[in-house]
A and B are shown apart, each in its own frame.
Chain A
């Protein structure tokens, strides 16, 4: 019979169309509004920083592809996510050259040495962030007031620091440009070191200082919801983190309401929302089973509060997530699903 050859392949012959690049691309879409708000709030410095960090991430990934003789893996969009996320966690006036360092280290040490997407243990964005936190302790805690005048026409002075130079002290500049009432201090810093509470409304809408993209809890939440609804994010992860944070900080608050902040503040301030929605929920570093995800989320929530309250840093979500990532293989091993038809006790360890 003279017919076209028939294609053979194995079952199943149909497939759900949602593939890795589609998921990743949508995460990028979900991040864009947050990025836009950050630019609106802090000006062109944030735009420049994001571009620089993202391009560094892409270049690093490509470089490693080339080194290991593989085809380019840029097409899966995950490096773009890492770049944008990392930029959003940095202070708006973070020197660009340090952004390059963060991007390179995050991708190289956090992802590519493990073998690229799927093989990394830690969230690469956080690896980069943690590295520069240790390397440049001053720059990473130099905050800029939000909505300063001229933010769309001029860079924050620290942004353009020459490579390998330390950025200038900008406290004088900061107070000169600040619109009344705005200080450069973050809500968490204020709470921890000066005992001043920032109102929940300001935290929700992002009318505060902080890292470029972590200020508006509400906006981040909405963007995260989009992903959750499109079934592109495991919504259980942020939910368990919120529960972990609420329970832990609630307990502390009940013990001493004067000394410890209330749970609502804990939930809305700092990088928690961004971390919970976009970083902890990164599929690669999180457990695969529903029970594993519960443990993972609660652990991160608990650690965040503990670090914030008892640690020397004002922000804890970053290290909490990294620790959660580290615990994931263990959690995975502990939480194998109960096989259909297996009796409860016979569970494999």
Chain B
């Protein structure tokens, strides 16, 4: 996709400490140039997605709602947009610490949606041992197809990235888990493997939320990550295909992350599809490019189950944006069903059946209504809920279960901070 005239690049596109701007308003930047540096280990630097001039460093809209510090770049139309900064190396010659540093310098953060800093994910704690590297090739949500496209179009980058990741983590083998409706991607990748390759490709059932780390590990390896634990607790490191494909491309050249593949889709959109989009592109520009007319009512960043509907079309694409969905109907639900009025919980148990974490959402909602947020965590493992939205999806009473859980979690967090 073309460059928007103005790119809005937040300094915090990842989970962790925001990056610190190293450019000033009025300064010229070259595509790929570092514009904000990492603030400590748990942070990710930001690179200029295009050649241009820094117009401002100011608070701008974000998908989540609150305004965040962003570097606004006015793109030079005439510029060649060649990525200038690069220090080519052969990653296979470097040691682990050096590689991790380079991953951090590349500005990579999980492209699956959560935007967890990739170098942190790849760093195996001293006392632990990574056995398997799981490569997540399952779309995180329905409607999104960006991971599929990445596998089909950049298989070399992906496999290269997997090999680097194996080296960094010290894992002996890697499994690429792909949903069984994307057998073409699996075939393509398998063809490119060598004999006795430490990498293998496996198909898993297509169902939401298969792309959730813990679900994928269960399907692929039969492993359950302990409550409150991370995959490394069972000897696994998980990374998304999009992330590793970028890793395979960025590491050898020493470039920074400046673009990503996103799915642009929704009802009644003509040029729906996957686009390689510079980071910082405002949603309004994307919609213009794909030719969406003015009649839409809801725009979602991310997927339909977990994404956020955005209040302003000036919200930019960030490293964690996997898609932009446009719905024309006032509410998508109205297209399919009834009004969406809320009824009391009829204890039908559907949410209990639906919850992939085997929680008891019904019980938690009863507690949430009584504001017993601590009991929700202590007795019902609220924090195991990863907000997949399955419970809300099935609830015949239209109870916004996930919303209750989000609120309960943040209140619990506040209280913990207050007492700590």
On A, residues with C-beta under 8 Å from B are: 1, 3-4, 6-23, 76, 115-119, 234, 283-290, 293, 332, 336-343, 348
Binding site for A on B (CB under 8 A): 142, 214, 218, 224-227, 229, 284, 294-300, 302, 304-311, 313, 325, 327, 330-333, 336-338, 340, 343-349, 352-353, 355-360, 362-363, 379-381, 384, 387, 389, 392-394, 396-398, 400, 402-403, 406
A14 touches B332 (CB 8 A): yes
Whether A11 contacts B389 in the complex (CB less than 8 A), given A21-B338, A342-B227, comes out as yes
- CB-based contact B402/A6 at 8 Å: no
Cα of A4 to Cα of B306 in the assembled complex, Å: 24
Going nearest first, the 10 A-B pairs with the smallest beta carbon separation are A17-B337, A118-B344, A12-B389, A288-B349, A283-B348, A12-B305, A340-B357, A17-B336, A337-B358, A20-B343
Partner of B396, one of A20, A293, A348: A20
Which chain B residue has the least Cβ–Cβ distance from A116? B344
Report the minimum CB–CB distance from A249 to chain B (whole Å): 28
Structural contact, B338 and A11, CB atoms closer than 8 A = no
What are 5 A-B contacts with C-beta separation under 8 Å? A12-B306, A15-B333, A288-B348, A337-B358, A343-B226
Find out whether the CB atom of B224 lies under 8 angstroms from the CB atom of A340: yes
Q: Name the B residues within 8 Å of A76 (CB-CB).
A: 343
Interface pair B331/A7, CB less than 8 Å apart: yes
Please determine whether B392 and A22 come into contact, CB atoms closer than 8 angstroms: no
- Given the complex of chains A and B, what is the CA–CA distance between A23 and B384 in angstroms? 30
| Complex alpha-carbon distance, A1 and B292, angstroms | 14
The reply to whether A13 and B304 contact each other, CB–CB distance below 8 Å, is yes
B384 touches A340 (CB 8 A): yes
Complex interface: chain B residues within 8 A of A234 (CB) = 348-349
Most chain A Cβ neighbours within 10 Å, of B229, B294, B299, B343: B343
Q: Is the CB of A7 within 8 A of B297?
A: yes
Task: Report how many A-B pairs have Cβ atoms within 8 Å.
Answer: 181
Q: Are B396 and A339 in contact (CB under 8 A)?
A: no
Q: A6-B297, A283-B349 are in contact. Are A12 and B337 (CB under 8 A)?
A: no
**Contacting A11 at CB < 8 Å: which of B294, B308, B346, B398?**
B308
A337 to B380, CA, bound (A): 9
Q: Which of A1, A13, A116, A340 contacts B284 (CB 8 A)?
A: A1
Say yes or no: A4-B297 contact (C-beta < 8 A), given A13-B307, A15-B336, A23-B396: yes
A20 in complex: contacting residue of B327, B346, B362, CB < 8 Å: B346
Q: With contacts A7-B331, A341-B226, A341-B384 known, is A12 near B393, CB below 8 A?
A: yes
In the bound complex, CA of A158 to CA of B94 (Å):
96
B299 contacts which chain A residues (CB < 8 A)?
6
Distance, CA A116 to CA B344, complexed state (A): 9
**Please, how many angstroms separate the alpha-carbon atoms of A7 and B329 in the complex?**
10
Within the complex, the shortest CB–CB distance from A111 to chain B, in Å, comes to: 11
In whole angstroms, what is the CA distance A342 to B380 when docked?
11
Q: A340 and B358: CB pair below 8 A?
A: yes
In the bound complex, what is the Cα–Cα distance between A15 and B347 (angstroms)? 18
Verify B349–A14 contact, CB threshold 8 A.
no
A310 to B310, CA, bound (A): 65
Contacting residues, chain B, for A9 (C-beta < 8 A): 298, 309, 331
Complexed CA–CA distance, A118 and B396 (Å): 12
- Whether A16 pairs with B400 at a CB distance below 8 angstroms is no
A18 touches B227 (CB 8 A): no
Q: Looking across the interface, which residue of chain B has its beta carbon closest to that of A13?
A: B304
The winner among A289, A290, A341 for most chain B CB atoms within 10 A is A341
Q: Tell me, in angstroms, the Cα distance from A332 to B345 when the chains sit together.
A: 15
Nearest A residue to B337, CB-CB: A17
Of A18, A19, A22, A286, the most chain B CB neighbours within 10 A belong to A19
